[in-house]
Amino acid sequence: MAQPALASDWDSGILQSVVLARQRDFDGLFDGFTELKAVSYVTSVRLLLDFMENRGFSKVEMLVGENVTIQQFKDDLTHQERAVTERIAAHVESGALRILVPKRTVHSKFFLLRNDDLSRLIVTSANLSDTARRASSQVNYAWYLDVPSGHPMLVRAERDYQEHCEGASLFMGDLLQLLAKRQDLASGEVISIWLGTESSDPDLAEARAIVQDIVADAFTHLGDEERAVIHVELPKAADSRKQALKLLTPLGVDSRSGESRISPASVIRYVEEVHGVPILRVDVAKQEVLLGFRGEITRLDEQLGTPQEINEALSDFEAYIDTVDVGQTLDARCAKTSMFEAALYAMAAPFAHEQMKERRHRYGSVNRRGPRFLYIYGPAQNGKTTFLRYILKIITGPHVEPLAASRFNKANIRGVQVFGTSFPLMFDDMVTTTGKTYEDIIKSHWEIDWREESGYPQLIFTSNHLNLRDWAKSRLKRIDFDVHFVPTTQTQEHLATILDKPNLLYRWFARLYLERISQPGWMTDDEMGVARDAMLSLYRFAGRGVPNYFPHRPIEELYDSDLRTWQDVIRQRKAAVHRAGKETRITFSNDLQPPEVQEYRACLPQTVKARMIGKTLVIENPSYFHAWLDGSGKSRWWGRLFKR
């Protein structure tokens, strides 16, 4: 059979090709055009917004491929500024932007471009992604054809494009329906409802939005918590009303009435009684931190006191840190530094939501992780529970108990999140950190569940267990309390005196923290940099010398907790190290249980390759292990304990 000859006009340069090896190669394909239809994998809806707002396109229609789902796009938008979603929705509503999601996987990649003069058809290996555009880590290839409107090849490509789009769903179509249905709400609230649902359940998200409005209203009545009245109007739609009543009936909302009245005090008491925490709200614009606690709203931050007052508060704070001296520890300075670092973290924890907002503003969806969670580790009788009680009292004034580990579940944490509090959730004596529940909550807390509109709580844990998975190590800031307290009448009386004495330190700390984060460029690689600066400012203002155990840098840069754990188990002769040829074998004593042995294995650096044989840990690259074990201290007393 004879092959058809290529038409002569193809030889005149109509069909062209380009190797996409630089960003200008990619961008040049789209320059000068105003309309786009395409089939391609798209990493973010924001890329399409860029075509419309920065590259001069008046119409964009995209069929997304490679298993991209509507939920993935929604999850991406939850980590963008709310204005991005509002702008995209406006373009979708006007018809200028159409994002189509197919029912099955599409691998095709081609683009149809148009301006007033001609059309361009591009067939390429490149996706519409930042990676392909930058061309710094990949090279792609494209054929393209410039023809006038009505050209047979263009007509064929348009027909092929429509065939690809058959059965596809319009992204944000449900949002447009919701906006039309809920015209009684501001568009931002409707978008919050839409983004806040993993399924099509806007009624529950709407109920949560009502609760947060109630809390915001309550906090406008400082000093009039009992007499002030908050008007609560229930949704008229049956499903929305039902969901709202689940959350609002315990607050005293009457299900038989379309409108109810409640007091700010009742809202505050309910959250504390049911969830065990106060409501704390940070307002950077107004430069204030408010606390709803025991039916009252108080302001936590205040202007600095006199140098003498601040000096006394710092002295009392140091007196608590110095209780390490009545305990048993091999390195008192390390123990005090660790305790001071943990205190700085806990005092900064109410501002974690503000830090998360700054992270999202700077990084967008490039890094979805939030501030690390604090994980305080140590055996029994080392002061972890007392520490939580002390730091809670420093923040609130009255005594507040930490949360029991049994409260650590998704239902309880989400129940707190509904009220928009930035008060940290401190869970004491966690038993397990390797289960699915712990993993789900830790991974989703900042990365998925966080919303920018209202306050959001940071999580703090104490535990006697050290078996952290690799995924947890990068999300937790671990601080070891390496001290043992023997309870005696004298030591307990001394501690009670410290805990019972009022201390205004946090009020001044919060004031300095607020002032710093209202300025540009406040966030650094040190998550606690602002907390360190605020505390050092208090020392300077008081004219008080900074103690030698103050953590000027992150604790992990000062002390290797995993290394100290291994040094300790060797010092106690609970592990014997044998060098044997190309391997090192570590035999653990019989009184250590398998979970304890696993904890020590989990403390090894990721560069150390190891396997377990019974209770013997075999190190397959001993040079890495011994370099780590020997390399951090001036005194290598543990080396004498090796059995060669």
Cα–Cα distance measured from residue 625 to residue 644, given in angstroms and rounded to the nearest whole number: 15
Is 62 buried (19+), middle (13-18) or exposed (0-12) by CB count in 10 A? buried
Per-residue pLDDT at 495 exceeds 70: yes
Q: What is the DSSP string of 119-174?
A: EEEEEES--BSHHHHH-SS--EEEEEEEE-TT-HHHHHHHHHHHHHHTTPEETTHH
CB count within 10 Å of CB 11 equals 9
> Which of 184-193, 302-311, 482-491 is predicted least confidently?
184-193
SS3 for 219-287 is CCCCCCCCCCCEEEECCCCHHHHHHHHHHHHHHCCCCCCCEEEECHHHHHHHHHHHHCCCEEEEECCCC
Check residue 55 and give its pLDDT: 85
Q: Which residue has the higher pLDDT, 277 or 73?
A: 277
Model-wide pTM > 0.75: no
Which of 438, 455, 431, 439 has the alpha carbon at shortest distance from 271? Answer: 455
Quick one: average pLDDT of 570-581? 84
Check residue 387 and give its pLDDT: 95
Check residue 613 and give its pLDDT: 84
SS3 for 378-392 is CCCCCCHHHHHHHHH
Per-residue pLDDT at 5 exceeds 70: no
pLDDT band, very low/low/confident/very high, at 437 (cuts 50, 70, 90) = confident
Per-residue pLDDT at 409 exceeds 80: yes
Check residue 67 and give its pLDDT: 63
Per-residue pLDDT at 402 exceeds 60: yes
Per-residue pLDDT at 575 exceeds 80: yes
Neighbouring-strand partners of residue 578:
585, 643
Computed over every residue of the chain, the mean pLDDT equals 84
Per-residue pLDDT tens digits for 240-265: 778 778 777 877 777 776 677 888 89
Check residue 3 and give its pLDDT: 53
Class of domain 12-175: alpha beta
pLDDT band, very low/low/confident/very high, at 364 (cuts 50, 70, 90) = low
Q: What is the torsional sign of CA 348, 352, 354, 357? A: positive
Q: 346-360, 435-449, 598-612: which has the highest mean pLDDT?
A: 346-360
CB count within 10 Å of CB 134 equals 12
Quick one: average pLDDT of 505-533? 94
Check residue 643 and give its pLDDT: 36
Strands 373-377 and 459-463: parallel
**Contact between 52 and 128 (Cβ < 8 Å):** no
Quick one: DSSP state of residue 323? G
Per-residue pLDDT tens digits for 590-599: 888 887 788 7
Tell me the two tokens of residue 289. 């931190």
SS3 for 450-503 is CCCCCCCCCEEEEECCCCCCHHHHCCEEEEECCCECCCCHHHHHHHHHHHHCCC
Tell me the two tokens of residue 250. 């315990």
Q: Which residue has the higher pLDDT, 137 or 47?
A: 47
pLDDT band, very low/low/confident/very high, at 71 (cuts 50, 70, 90) = confident
Cα–Cα distance measured from residue 315 to residue 317, given in angstroms and rounded to the nearest whole number: 5
**Contact between 270 and 415 (Cβ < 8 Å):** no
3-state class percentages of the chain: helix first, strand second, coil last, to nearest 5: 45, 20, 35
Check residue 633 and give its pLDDT: 39
Cα–Cα distance measured from residue 290 to residue 565, given in angstroms and rounded to the nearest whole number: 40
**Contact between 537 and 428 (Cβ < 8 Å):** no
pLDDT band, very low/low/confident/very high, at 632 (cuts 50, 70, 90) = very low
Quick one: DSSP state of residue 632? S
Cα–Cα distance measured from residue 534 to residue 396, given in angstroms and rounded to the nearest whole number: 18
Residue in the structure block whose two tokens are 């089939």 = 39
Cα–Cα distance measured from residue 309 to residue 303, given in angstroms and rounded to the nearest whole number: 12
Q: 25-39, 308-322, 467-481, 627-641: which has the highest mean pLDDT?
A: 308-322
Residue in the structure block whose two tokens are 């304890």 = 596
**Contact between 452 and 82 (Cβ < 8 Å):** yes
pLDDT band, very low/low/confident/very high, at 200 (cuts 50, 70, 90) = very low
Per-residue pLDDT at 79 exceeds 70: no
Per-residue pLDDT at 34 exceeds 80: yes
425 in helix, strand or coil?
strand
Cα–Cα distance measured from residue 57 to residue 51, given in angstroms and rounded to the nearest whole number: 6
Looking at the chain, the whole-number percentage of residues with pLDDT higher than 90 is 32
Check residue 316 and give its pLDDT: 95
Give me the helix-helix angle, 70-78 and 187-195, nearest 10°. Answer: 120
pLDDT band, very low/low/confident/very high, at 640 (cuts 50, 70, 90) = very low
Per-residue pLDDT tens digits for 336-358: 999 999 999 999 999 999 999 99
Q: What is the DSSP string of 429-441?
A: EE--SSSHHHHHH
Q: Which residue has the higher pLDDT, 302 or 133?
A: 302
Q: Which residue has the higher pLDDT, 542 or 572?
A: 542
Cα–Cα distance measured from residue 508 to residue 179, given in angstroms and rounded to the nearest whole number: 44
Strands 119-124 and 140-147: antiparallel
Check residue 367 and give its pLDDT: 66
Per-residue pLDDT at 9 exceeds 70: no
Check residue 69 and give its pLDDT: 73
Quick one: average pLDDT of 403-428? 91
Show me where the domains of the chain are located. Answer: 12-175, 201-275, 301-558, 563-641
Both ends of the chain: CA-CA distance in Å?
A: 81
Looking at the chain, the whole-number percentage of residues with pLDDT higher than 70 is 90
Q: What is the torsional sign of CA 225, 226, 228, 232? A: positive
Which of 641, 504, 508, 495 has the alpha carbon at shortest distance from 576? Answer: 641
pLDDT band, very low/low/confident/very high, at 23 (cuts 50, 70, 90) = confident
Per-residue pLDDT at 580 exceeds 80: no
Check residue 258 and give its pLDDT: 63
Check residue 2 and give its pLDDT: 53
Beta strands in 7-83 (DSSP E): 15-20, 35-40, 59-64
Per-residue pLDDT tens digits for 97-134: 998 888 888 888 899 999 988 899 999 988 887 777 77
Cα–Cα distance measured from residue 482 to residue 334, given in angstroms and rounded to the nearest whole number: 8
**Contact between 179 and 109 (Cβ < 8 Å):** no
Per-residue pLDDT at 135 exceeds 70: yes
Where residue 614 falls (left for φ over 0; alpha for ψ -120 to 50; beta otherwise) is left
Quick one: average pLDDT of 81-104? 84
pLDDT band, very low/low/confident/very high, at 197 (cuts 50, 70, 90) = very low
Neighbouring-strand partners of residue 553:
none
Which amino acid type is present at position 76?
D
Check residue 194 and give its pLDDT: 78
**Contact between 122 and 15 (Cβ < 8 Å):** no
Per-residue pLDDT at 579 exceeds 50: yes
Per-residue pLDDT at 324 exceeds 90: yes
CB count within 10 Å of CB 641 equals 14
**Contact between 338 and 482 (Cβ < 8 Å):** yes
Which of 591, 638, 584, 642 has the alpha carbon at shortest distance from 613? Answer: 584
Cβ neighbours for 588, distance < 8 A, ≥ 6 positions apart: 569, 574, 575, 596, 597, 600, 615, 616, 617
pLDDT band, very low/low/confident/very high, at 616 (cuts 50, 70, 90) = confident
